Amino acid sequence: MKHLFCILAGIFLFSHLHGQSIGRYLGDEDILNAQTKQVNQFFRRFNGEEGTDGTRFYEGDSLYRNALLRNKYLSILFNRENTRLTDALKDDFIRDINGDGHPFYLDFHGGNWFAEVTTVFLYHGQEMPLTLFLRLQEENVGSKWVITNVYFEPFHEIFANHTPDSLKFLHPLSHELDFMNLINVFKDKHSVEDYAARDYKPDYLTLFIYEVNRSELVFKTVRHVKFHFFQVPGWYFELEDFNRPGYNAGWLISNLIKISDEEKEMILKFIYHE
């Protein structure tokens, strides 16, 4: 009997400690529900179509896109650890998208947002970071993610010396020589791009696909995912996943900037390393 008591006591103690461990690492149900665990969930909460407890609101429901509730939901969709996201900036953003009777809602299929995926590839026997840019492409039935651009440091270095206004040129009467002066162009392989048209841009995506086909680039893993949003008129924000305990976790707005059309082009060039 004593032996049985010890076994039962041990089972109880293990269960108690195990329960504490689960609680410590996973948190209670309220915390789990409050975390924005999926990108689609971020869209719903941004639009006021889901509560912080995970309850979905549907069209016709009094809580669906309710302006007062939406203000509350929007305020918790920011990374609070980023001190650059001031209360004044967030309030200005929320007023723009949820005030004056003209609310703005994100559209998953509306364009003007894309993914930046930091990956690791094996290149010439060495693991190296490579960034893929992807966007949703609409099809006859549904949609799909497609690669639109690539940034890879070794590719960038190849074209780093490209100067559209180079003093090197083919004489305008080269055709009278049957372009035999092309021999001078190809003497230095590192300056061939100087003879390209002024509007020439290196096509890193084509080069990437070529190297993958040759097995020179071999995919290993994904390190990080970030989304860039230009869908809200006059604003740009980034969306990232924060895997940490507490309510302020999951997919959150990590950066927010009020922009003009000209600034939008500057940000895009910065993102693409152009």
- For residue 151, being part of any structural domain is answered with no
Host domain of residue 171: 165-200
pLDDT of residue 194: 83
Q: 95 and 35, same structural domain?
A: yes
Residue-wise pLDDT for 105-120, tens only, equals 999 999 999 999 999 9
pLDDT of residue 8: 36
Q: How many residues does the chain have?
A: 274
Q: 236 and 189, same structural domain?
A: no
Residue-wise pLDDT for 207-244, tens only, equals 999 999 999 999 999 999 999 999 999 999 999 999 98
Q: 234 and 104, same structural domain?
A: yes
241: which residues sit within 8 A by CB, 6+ positions away? 225, 250, 251, 252
pTM: 0.82
pLDDT of residue 4: 38
User: What is d(CA 115, CA 199) in angstroms, rounded to the nearest whole number?
Assistant: 26
User: Of the candidates 98, 85, 82, which has an alpha carbon nearest to the alpha carbon of residue 46?
Assistant: 98
**Count of domains for the chain:** 2
